[in-house]
Structure 1
């Protein structure tokens, strides 16, 4: 997997150096994110329609899980 960087340091998958250590990530449009339940995440990526945007400001990472959250195992994503 390519190196993914992220500055959201209160995410379960955040690692020092602003590295995302999630085994999978889902980045989608803000519009799709707002219209879908919170549990839509990387394992569902293959079933989500394309979500084109005009700029990076219209995108959203759906892999976020707060550090210490009991939901960190809810979707099967793991830390590398």
Structure 2
């Protein structure tokens, strides 16, 4: 199973959300790291190349995967309208 870690920006992103939304996103992340071996990550392009996205309703979670340490590192969480700008 994979571990979950946050960059400082990722940690600030989750703290800025209301409690209910943050809990939904954390639940999605827990599910994701438990099932990552059976999921194909959605890669990003352009200036976010090398990162992946995870969808939770209108929210997007931008993350990277360190396969050597089996860690998912969350970089940023935000509404789909603003996350890629």
TM above 0.5:
no
- Normalised TM-score (structure 1): 0.27
Query: Structure 1 or 2: larger strand share?
Result: 2
